[in-house]
Amino acid sequence: MGEEKGGFEPKIVGFTCNWCTYAGADLAGTSRKKYPPNARLIRMMCTARFDPMFAFKALLNGADGVFISGCHPGECHYIKGNFYARRRIAAMRTILKQLGLDDRVKSYWISASEGVKFANTMKNITEEIRELGPNPMRDKIL
Amino acid sequence: MKGTELNYGDLEGVFKGLLENKVVDCLIMPRRVGNSVSYMLVRDKDKIATPESVIFAPSFGVNAANIVKGWMIAEKVGIVAKPCEIRAAIELIKLTQLNEDSVLLITVDCAGAFANEVYAANYADIGDHVDSAKIKELAGKGISIRDACAICDNRLADVGDIAIAQAGGEKAVVAGLTEKGEEALSAAGLSLEDKELDRAAEKEKIAAEAKQNLEGLPKISSEEALEEFLRDCIVCKNCRDVCPVCYCKECFFDQPLGNPAGGDLLNLAEARGAIEVPTNQLLYHLTRVYHVSTTCVACGACEDACPKDIPLTRFYPVLAKKVQEVFEYVPGKDAKEPLPFTTYEEDELEECLR
Ligand code: SF4
Ligand code: SF4
Ligand code: SF4
């Protein structure tokens, strides 16, 4: 990507739920909110589908940043999927923090009506990850 | 609580009584083989001899819960083991890998244990049982308990159905911790009286020591440090196979996605330019530590089993403890408490997601 043209463009993998954040991203698009295109979204039906191994794998394969985002707690399309997801994400991030690997991982709650929040979040995460620089695992033989 | 104080010599009768009166169909309990200690599955009471010489032995080989993992049988199995092993069995009950109605969990006080080969090699110095003073004295001679034991704050027999607690001298208190335990002891022929096992002060002392030892363990706190720590791992997955709470019928890392070969590997190498083969260590250990993060009983069996001498206690129990603190969960402490990943509160944990 733009690396040669100066400036590092982080690659970010986002795990988003179908009903909220993915729809929020759609809304940002249809309402023509501008945001950096660095995040590749992977649509899941619910954040409860998120398995921390996905994040480990993305990071080990060189993603510069990873985020998980779904409906606000209490607003899950499947009533309580994101309550369970939150426990798993908390466990994963607790482990990553201990190992000093958590700064490239983020989690958010963004609803279908929060197109602006989605766009701003993408701006922020892209800046934060750009600040950190490329994931050192990117060039390693792992 | 109901129980009774016995001389060491009377313990044999208790175990025999459990079998003889069909309270259990079999017992899994330690046995002595020369200077070593291992487990036996015993059905014939006459095979039990001088158990007092071995049930308190500070030797750790396998985690007894790992023996019965997945045994969903109707026969009643009594397990005589150390607190971390019984706690693992309780987690297995919660994970539906062990039938609660067909086990009788008998927990023995532990002062900390030596790796079984260290124990056998130094039997003359260590003997049949130790206390904390003796452990310090032995450490002075370069004979040390396992790291997992040094950081263990759950050494007293206070989980399971029956406790066998050291009562000083050659005496032990045998007490029921649950109704099932009390009934079992009565059925085995013991006459029980009201008994208090109040060891709060001792527990506090152990916890303080354990905390200090935990703080003394080297930390793995960066990506480089983690890679360095795992550098020599050959991903033999022994640490998984001996782990009592790693219970999947087919481990992810034995499936094609977790253990890619042939064309799948070529595709990965195509995407990355080059990849490590047979396989990189990081994904395996990160995933496994997440899988056991709420249920790891910190028994140290993984470290003992590592053929490459990787000090895994600094990884598995240490990281799991942090996760368990988040959920205020002590694995195996309370059979009725739900596993953290099977429950939730509506308002919680947001601070962990920042
Ligand atoms: S037992 Fe040791 S060498 Fe084998 S997978 Fe575990 S850490 Fe690696
Ligand atoms: S991860 Fe290691 S310390 Fe934890 S329960 Fe498994 S074998 Fe024991
Ligand atoms: S490492 Fe994970 S997938 Fe493999 S057996 Fe253990 S819990 Fe199951």
> Residue A34 above 50 pLDDT?
yes
A137: which 2 tokens? Answer: 């695992």
Residue A4 has pLDDT above 60, yes or no: no
Q: Does the distance separating the beta carbons of B348 and A86 come in below 8 Å?
A: yes
Whether B8 and B81 share a structural domain: yes
- Do residues B227 and B349 both lie within one domain? yes
Closest approach of chain B CAs to the CA of A85, in angstroms? Answer: 9
Mutate to test the interface with B, among A13, A53, A88 (most CBs of B within 10 A): A53
Do both B71 and B144 map to the same domain? yes
Q: Which residues, at least 6 apart from B151, have a Cβ–Cβ distance to it below 8 Å?
A: B210, B213, B214, B217, B298, B313, B317, B318
> What digits encode the pLDDT tens for the residues B165-184?
999 889 999 999 999 999 99
Q: Is the pTM of this model over 0.90?
A: yes
Write the CB contacts of A102 (distance below 8 Å, at least 6 apart in sequence).
Answer: A93, A96
Pairing of strands B26-33, B77-81: parallel
**Is pLDDT at A5 greater than 50 in this prediction?**
no
CA–CA separation, B182 vs B320, rounded Å? 33
A contacts of B353 (beta carbons < 8 Å): 86, 89-90, 93, 107
Q: Please give the distance, rounded to the nearest whole angstrom, from the Cα atom of residue B259 to the centre of ligand 3.
A: 13
Q: Looking at the CA of residue B291, tell me the nearest atom of ligand 3.
A: 7
- C-alpha of residue B240 to centroid of ligand 1, in Å: 8
Co-location of B236 and B152 in the same domain: no
Instruction: Examine the domain organization and report whether B329 and B227 are in the same domain.
Output: yes
Of A73, A95, A136, the CB nearest to B323: A95
pLDDT tens, residue by residue, B56-78: 999 999 999 999 999 999 999 99
Q: What is the CATH number of domain A12-141?
A: 3.40.50
Q: Which atom, in ligand 3's list, is nearest to the CA of B243?
A: 6
Q: Give B-chain residues touching A98 at CB under 8 angstroms.
A: 219-221, 318-319, 322
| B349–A87 C-beta distance less than 8 A | yes
Q: Categorise residue B302: left if φ over 0, alpha if ψ from -120 to 50, beta otherwise.
A: alpha
Q: Is the distance from CB of B239 to CB of A106 less than 8 angstroms?
A: no
pLDDT at A1 over 70: no
Judge whether residue A6 has pLDDT over 70.
Answer: no
Q: In what order do the strands lie in the sheet with B193-194?
A: B36-42, B26-33, B77-81, B103-108, B162-166, B171-176, B2-7, B193-194
pLDDT in tens, chain B (354 residues): 899 999 999 999 999 999 999 999 999 999 999 999 999 999 999 999 999 999 999 999 999 999 999 999 999 999 999 999 999 999 999 999 999 999 999 999 999 999 999 999 999 999 999 999 999 999 999 999 999 999 999 999 999 999 999 998 899 999 999 999 999 999 999 999 998 888 999 999 999 999 999 999 999 999 999 999 999 999 999 999 999 999 999 999 999 889 999 999 999 899 889 999 988 899 999 999 999 999 999 999 999 999 999 999 999 999 999 999 999 999 999 999 999 999 999 999 988 888
Domain limits, chain A: 12-141
SS (H, E, C) A88-140: HHHHHHHHHHHCCCHHHEEEEECCCCCHHHHHHHHHHHHHHHHHHCCCHHHHC
Given a cut of 60, whether residue A2 has pLDDT beyond it is no
B207 shares its domain with B229: no
A16 beta partners: A43, A69
Find tokens 């003073």 and name the residue.
B133
- Predicted pLDDT at B187: 97
Do B132 and B208 fall into the same domain?
A: yes
Residues B207 and B122 in one domain: yes
Residues B338, B250 share a domain = yes
Q: What ipTM does the predicted assembly reach? A: 0.94
B342 and B267 inside one domain: yes
Helix (H, G, I), strand (E, B) or coil at A14: strand
Option in B274, B275, B349 nearest A86 (CB): B349
Secondary structure (H, E, C), chain B:
CEEEEEEHHHHHHHHHHHHHCCCCCEEEEEEEECCEEEEEEECCHHHCCCHHHCCCCCEECCCHHHHHCCCCCCCCEEEEECHHHHHHHHHHHHCCCCCHHHEEEEEECCCCCEEHHHHHHCHHHHCCCCCHHHHHHHHHCCCCCCHHHHCCCCCCCCCCCEEEEECCCCEEEEEECCHHHHHHHHHCCCCCEECCCCCHHHHHHHHHHHHHHHHHCCCCCCHHHHHHHHCCCCCCCHHHHCCCCCCCCCCHHHCCCCCCCCHHHHHHHHHHCCCCCCCCHHHHHHHHHHHCCCCCCCCCHHHHHCCCCCCHHHCHHHHHHHHHHHCCCCCCCCCCCCCHHHCCCCCCCHHHHC
- Answer yes or no: do B353 and A89 touch at CB < 8 A: yes
Atom of ligand 2 nearest to the CA of B242: 7
Tell me which of A140 and B122 has the higher pLDDT: B122
Find the domain containing B302 and state its range.
223-353
Whether residues B87 and B176 share a domain: the answer is: yes
- Domain shared by B182 and B325, yes or no: no
Chain A residues whose beta carbon lies within 8 Å of the beta carbon of residue B226: 99, 101
At B214 the pLDDT is 97
Q: Do the Cβ atoms of A127 and A120 come closer than 8 Å?
A: no
Task: Choose the final residue of a domain: B158, B193, B216.
Answer: B216
Our count of domains for chain B comes to 2
Ligand 3 neighbours, Cβ below 6 Å, are: B 240, 246, 248, 251-253, 288, 291
